[in-house]
Structure 1
Amino acid sequence: MDLRQIRYFIAIAESGSLSEAARRLHIVQPALSQRLAALEADLGVQLLVRGRSGIALTPSGTELYQRALLIAKHIDTARLAVKEKAGEVEGTLTIGVLRSMAPAVGKRLFLTLKEELPRVTPHLRTGYSAELAKMLQEGRVDLAMQVLPAGSKPDTGVLYSEHLYAVGVPALLGTGNRPITLPELQGIPILTAARQSSHELLVQAARRQHIPLNVIGDVEDSFSLLEICDTGVAATFLSGAMAHEAARHRGLTVRPLDDPRVVRHVTLAVNPDVPRTAALVAAGEIVGRVLMERMREAMGEVPAETSRTTQPAADAR
């Protein structure tokens, strides 16, 4: 088994078909089929099952795919490390961004990475905290934002901590921005995003206090969530940055949840199998800085046109 076979197999697994993999690899399909057959013969196992709708990995194929990703990442990292010895900071970095933060930070993060690390190719991937943790474990991202589990004590590695904000039309939440308590939520129709860790914190806090929440549905997409809340059907809960942007652009009422236990702590986790190259360290610092800039802009603490030159760099572990 050689490196070319490994890269070919990764392409096949991710493409879902031999023809698409051959197109991406710029080789003819018969040659790719021969490479795959040679790999299966070398390992003595079947890696794929072919069907009408494409290919599917066997258990052995899934195991090889996961390990192949790590091997390919180590090769790429070794290449970067050698080049960094010559003073060059370049390569590809894959960064996991929390789904709830992507609309607020995605554009700024990508442009800042390209401006400050022009020879680095950034790949941004979005997901919930658990999804990003799995991507880290499987070697599909180099670093990723993570929300600490409920009850965890924050430490110096936390990028930021934030309360949840109730967001809805004035008919449901009233006017003004005074804090809202959990008992006040009784009777208010609420939309949740169950896979968001912050909403899980809310539900757990209400359960501890024996407060029944009137949850009328679950919507994962933040934009759709706000579109529905805009009609007055229900209220929802968002992070500070997203909530204040909703207030400015949609005229919705935004009230902080008055419960010290419903706080999410966001950290930046690094793939333990990836060496800390100069590119990785620099990218971590940029992620931390951009997050804080966008948070402060959204909360109205820093004018958007001046924040990039006035905010200190955040520490990235």
Structure 2
Amino acid sequence: MELRHLRYFVAVATEGSLTRAAERLHLTQPSLSRQIRQLERDIGAPLLERGATGTTLTPAGAALHAHAVLLLRLADATRETTHAAAGRSREVVGIGIPPGLSAEWLLDTLTALDAAVPHAAVALTEASSTEQLRMVREGRLDLGLVHEQPVGSLRGARLFDQPFGVAVRPGHPLADGPECRLRDLDGVRILAHGRQQVPVAHDRLVVAAHDAGVVPLWQFAQFSEHARACAEATKSDAVLLTEHSATRLLPGWPWRPVVDPALELVTWLVWPPSTRTVVDEVARTISAR
């Protein structure tokens, strides 16, 4: 999935017509249609209903549209911040972000940093927790937003917790209740992130299931944007992830929090023990939110 695909999709949703959107984007209609079909293949679901009077959003399209608008705003804000830094002697601060982080929270954080640390120009890099921790230690990132408590010499601040739950395939019995007990997952085919992406959460999950005598049919995979495709490939009946990610990646799949015991995804801010003053200022601002 590329940003230009999201821009094309948002233009079609706004215009309600492939023809008008193509004119606005200075593309031919066949070219725009190919780009939209590519995006639908990447997402794994139809996004537009095409009719004689124009186009309307499918439920999956409506869910993607809200997220796409935020992502495009974030991309534009990052570009403007970087360009402004060149003319205002701002110091670039590299921050890692994990896949699935709330775009609303991230946009609010960028606004807070712009007000509290105006001499900092934020450059964002999306990477897994494991990759970010390595990049922070190697000096290739100033700060990281990770799903692991920092160890060793790294400093850290706990930012927020998100409950884990399961997005359940429509029609499956688990979709009926308001929540899902861990023992309800016994024998259920469940897609979960592989250990390389979230090792602490992965280990906590496997141990909790073992201690409860529960044997889910785990399907571990590396994924961020293509949860639906991975679920279909593995024939999974449920996908373990946060509510925010479920709403974005699996529209139409009911999400149920896992309880007894509850499972949480913790987000930490990490940075080196010795760093630039501006990095410490950014870290304090993010930690205080």
TM score, norm. by length of structure 1: 0.51
Q: Secondary structure at the match of 2:225?
A: helix
Letter in 1 for 2:283: G
Percent sequence identity over matched residues? 20
Q: Secondary structure at the match of 1:223?
A: coil
Distance 1:133 1:96 in 2: 9
Aligned equivalent of 1:134: 134
Note the residue ranges of structure 1 that are not aligned, 5 or more in a row: 1-87, 151-155, 289-312
Distance 1:148 1:158 in 2: 10
Q: Which has the larger radius of gyration?
A: 1
**Alignment map for 1:252-291 (pairs within 5 Å):** 252-260=253-261, 262-275=263-276, 277=277, 279-284=278-283, 287-288=286-287
Highest relative contact order (Cα 8 Å, sep 6+), 1 or 2? 2
Letter in 1 for 2:144: A
Distance 2:97 2:209 in 1: 28
Aligned equivalent of 2:252: 251
| Residue 90 of structure 1, CA deviation | 2.3
Aligned equivalent of 2:97: 97
Letter in 1 for 2:123: H
Letter in 1 for 2:146: Q
Distance 2:158 2:140 in 1: 22
**Alignment map for 1:121-200 (pairs within 5 Å):** 121-148=121-148, 157-176=157-176, 178-194=178-194, 195=196, 196-197=198-199, 198-200=201-203
| Residue 226 of structure 1, CA deviation | 3.1
Distance 1:190 1:233 in 2: 9
**Alignment map for 1:65-84 (pairs within 5 Å):** none
RMSD over aligned Cα, in angstroms?
3.4
The answer to whether the Cα contact below 8 Å between 1:93 and 1:122 also exists between their aligned partners in 2 is yes
Give the structure with the higher percent strand: 2
Q: Secondary structure at the match of 1:187?
A: coil
Aligned match for 1:202, one of 201, 205, 209: 205
> Residue by residue, what CA displacement relative to the aligned partner does 1:128-148 show, whole Å, maximum 9, x if unpaired?
222222112111111112334
Distance 2:128 2:171 in 1: 31
The answer to whether the Cα contact below 8 Å between 1:182 and 1:257 also exists between their aligned partners in 2 is yes
Letter in 2 for 1:179: E
Q: Secondary structure at the match of 1:164?
A: strand
Q: Secondary structure at the match of 1:92?
A: strand
Q: How many residues align?
A: 193
Q: Secondary structure at the match of 1:203?
A: helix
The answer to whether the Cα contact below 8 Å between 1:141 and 1:271 also exists between their aligned partners in 2 is no
| Residue 91 of structure 1, CA deviation | 0.5
> Residue by residue, what CA displacement relative to the aligned partner does 1:260-315 show, whole Å, maximum 9, x if unpaired?
4622322211211213x2x3244335545xxxxxxxxxxxxxxxxxxxxxxxx51x
